[in-house]
Amino acid sequence: MIKLSEPIRDSHVAVLAFFPVGAHAGPLLAVTRRLAAAAPSTIFSFFNTARSNASLFSDIDHPENIRVHDVADGVPEGTMPTGSPLEMVELFLEAAPRNFRREMAAAETEVGKKVTSMLTDAFFWFAADMAAEMKATWVAFWAGGANSLCAHLYTDLIRETIGVKDVRMEETLGFIPGMENYRVKDIPEEVVFEDLDSVFPKALYQMSLALPRASAVFISSFEDLEPTLTHNLRSKLKRFLNIAPLTLFSSTSTLVRDPHGCLAWMGKRSPASVAYISFGTVMEPPPAELVAIAQGLESSKVPFVWSLKEKNMVHLPKGFLDRTREQGIVVPWAPQVELLKHEATGVNVTHCGWNSVLESVSAGVPMIGRPILADNRLNGKAVEVVWKVGMMMDNGVFTKEGFEKCLHQVLVHDDGKTMKANAKKLKEKLQEDISRKGSSFENFKVLLHIITN
């Protein structure tokens, strides 16, 4: 049994964050902050792009033993990228190995200590060789759930089993323990359909080959959420750890950033009546679907808080904001965790990104899903079929009538009451898991021991 009070030798941990997707760097920083607080004599050098660092560290203090370092984003000087998420990812990954090596060497000189451990985003498959060269421990963080991690680790088996021609999209992945409820069509495109020689799919494939070399791989989750997959992944990796983020259960305080007054607005609504709508930081549904969402909200009369980027507000139907002024609010940013925990929230309308799903589960709030990319479809399938805490839009597309139907189903119909009850049970399991008797607490101690010794 590892005790948090055990003396920890002075160490230097290099934390390599993945910036282009907002869901990655934030959770990795949250874990780093917790590790740094538990190991005050250990230096944590946090490497990330200047823009991402500015966002992450803008309104929070961080422990003195976290040193923040900027890394180039990979965009060649004098070029003007299109700004598409995939292009930014590919440019970053192409340049990342040399950029991280250079900045880590500078950090070692600055700190006066060699890097003893590397804590990296799992996407950085090259960290396996880096750590071996530096005689450092490598620990990888997977920003999704056990379902998507399993899909990537079984890339070769999946391709061999389902083939590349005449693929039956509705066929299930029953040949992988724990994946019986998932279909071929739910898997990220990179696993099955894309050329493994192109930059991003190749990086993910290389990752699937490298992760078994890591001293540990951990995710933000809890063991009771996907127990069969957890058991499966433990057979594939040296150590596989579920660590539920404690931040999901921090109490709402006056310090919560809420520039548009969402929480005050929520305070005037009935319990479990409001639809909270957000699709993450990377992509939104296309304009026609934004119109369908607006039309469905207006005709259903359901109270709403909609977090929608300002640039996309031009797609809303003419007069929508005026006509629904008393019914709901549309804001460019909202305090999602606090809103989901609010008693007035009745449903989370989401793209089914892993962070959003976990935040809904931690709040006991059912979901309406419209998957957009990456692991979204796998998570959506889990929400609807595995955990039964929500439902997906028909054919994965918002229509006015389809959205109205889903809102009624979740907020009014008996099916919605069942979803709410199932969500409450998962919330209770998660709360138990992060207690001092739960596996997340023990798993965190294991992670701390691996990183700092």
Q: Produce one character per residue of 387-407: b if its CB has 16 or more CB atoms within 10 Å, e if not.
A: bbbbbbbeeeebbbebbbbbb
Half-sphere exposure for 233 (CA within 13 Å, toward CB) = 28
10 counts as catalytic = no
- Check if 433 is active-site: no
SS3 label, residue 224:
coil
Q: Per residue in 244-269, is it b (16+ CB within 10 Å) or e — as a string?
A: bbebbeeeeeeeeebebebbebbeeb
Catalytic position from the list 12, 69, 73, 121: 121
Residues making up the chain, counted from first to last:
453
Place of tokens 């990979």: 74
177: left (phi over 0), alpha (psi -120 to 50) or beta: beta
Torsion 32-364-221-192 (CA) sign: negative
266 to 173, 223, 246, 272, 363: CA distances (angstroms) = 42, 33, 24, 10, 15
Q: Provide DSSP, 345-389.
A: EEEEEE---HHHHHHHHHHT--EEE---STTHHHHHHIIIIIS-S
Helices 146-153 & 227-236 angle (0-180, nearest 10)? 40
Burial bucket for residue 71 (CB in 10 Å: 0-12, 13-18, 19+): buried
* Candidates 12, 24, 69, 152; catalytic one: 24
Residues labelled catalytic: 24, 121
